[in-house]
Amino acid sequence: MNTKATTKNYHDQIKEHWDEQGKVGWKKDEGIDPFFNQFYSEYKQQLGHEVLDVGCGNGRYMVPFVRDGFSVTGLDISQGMLNSAERALTEQNLKARYVIGNSVSLPFENQSFDFVMSIGTIHHNTMDDIKKSFSEIERVLKPKKYFLFMGRSVSDKEFEREVIEDYRDLGLGFTAIDKTGWKKGLVQHYFNGKELQQLGEQNGFEVIIEPHEQIRVTKKGQDEIQTSRIWIVYRKV
Ligand SMILES: C[S@@+](CC[C@H](N)C(=O)[O-])C[C@H]1O[C@@H](n2cnc3c(N)ncnc32)[C@H](O)[C@@H]1O
């Protein structure tokens, strides 16, 4: 395993990046993912009432829950993204709670939620902070309740990057800083299924839906770009 020193204030950089994205309407018109839709239609009745979205972004995954009468809290490190979530839901006459915070230290009581989702968020952390985030989610979730996760996958080839923490010799993923593109300079972790299974086991979760990798190939000029994401659903033991 190799690690390089990470920029100390990388969470500030992430916050600034997403504050800017909040201003330009990141994925404002993008719908929600088919994996989520299938999960939601199958598990909706078993999820309970109090829902937390860790890294809610523009709130698009909060919408179905609020529409269906769940009590929903969106948490985000970026006030800009929280504002864009609140604007989007208010335009649709939907009410939710919006809380500023960091996944590594959630500002909630133990066992205060029935369902937690974190979609495209926890990968914006180094491994130490990913572990803290999993432990925090376990803490705020009630026993036997579900946690849905999505993050970047090791097979992602969107942009050139420099690896700063390498766990591949252990059969796991790596943390890197993008060298080009819209996330240039940002820390992101790239997961594989084994790593997500381990993180679950080490933090008091059992796997309910096995890791599911989603690969998209798009053309950009002459180049083919591969974006890969990985989904998993856990239940607190
Ligand atoms: C790729 S967006 C995903 C937003 C939303 N979950 C979705 O899928 O539409 C990532 C979001 O996570 C937030 N974020 C990044 N790191 C975070 C952290 N450590 N704690 C809380 N939010 C974080 C960002 O501000 C941003 O809104």
What atom of ligand 1 comes closest to residue 17's alpha carbon? 25
Nearest protein CA to atom 26 of ligand 1, as residue = 57
| 158 Cα to the center of ligand 1, angstroms | 18
What atom of ligand 1 comes closest to residue 19's alpha carbon? 25
- Report pLDDT digits (tens) over 33-89: 999 999 999 999 999 999 999 999 999 999 999 999 999 999 999 999 999 999 999
Pocket perturbation via mutation, ligand 1, pick of 6, 16, 18, 51 by most ligand atoms within 8 A of CB? 18
With a Cβ cut-off of 6 Å, ligand 1 is lined by 14, 18, 54-58, 60-61, 76-78, 81, 102-103, 119-121, 124-125
Please give the pLDDT value at position 92: 97
6-10, 14-18, 186-190: least confident range: 6-10
Nearest protein CA to atom 27 of ligand 1, as residue = 57
pLDDT at residue 237 is higher than 90 = yes
- Report pLDDT digits (tens) over 19-45: 998 888 778 777 899 999 999 999 999
pLDDT at residue 3 is higher than 90 = no
55 within 8 A of 125, measured Cβ to Cβ: no
Domain boundaries, the chain: 2-151+193-214+229-236
**With b meaning 16 or more CB within 10 Å and e meaning fewer, what string describes 164-198?**
bbbbeeeebbbbbbbeeeebeebbbbbbbbebbbe
Nearest protein CA to atom 10 of ligand 1, as residue = 121
Q: What percent of the chain has pLDDT over 70?
A: 97
What are the helix and strand counts (H, E) for the chain?
Answer: 6, 11
Nearest protein CA to atom 1 of ligand 1, as residue = 120
60 within 8 A of 53, measured Cβ to Cβ: no
| 57 Cα to the center of ligand 1, angstroms | 5
Please give the pLDDT value at position 6: 60
Helices (DSSP H) in the chain: which residue ranges? 10-23, 34-43, 63-67, 79-91, 127-140, 193-202
Who has greater pLDDT, 164 or 1? Answer: 164
For residues 11-17, average pLDDT: 94
Please give the Cα distance from 189 to 217 (Å, whole number).
Answer: 20
pLDDT at residue 211 is higher than 80 = yes
pLDDT at residue 233 is higher than 70 = yes
| 222 Cα to the center of ligand 1, angstroms | 31
- Report pLDDT digits (tens) over 180-202: 888 999 999 999 999 999 999 99
> Would you identify the CATH topology of the domain 2-151+193-214+229-236?
Rossmann fold (3.40.50)
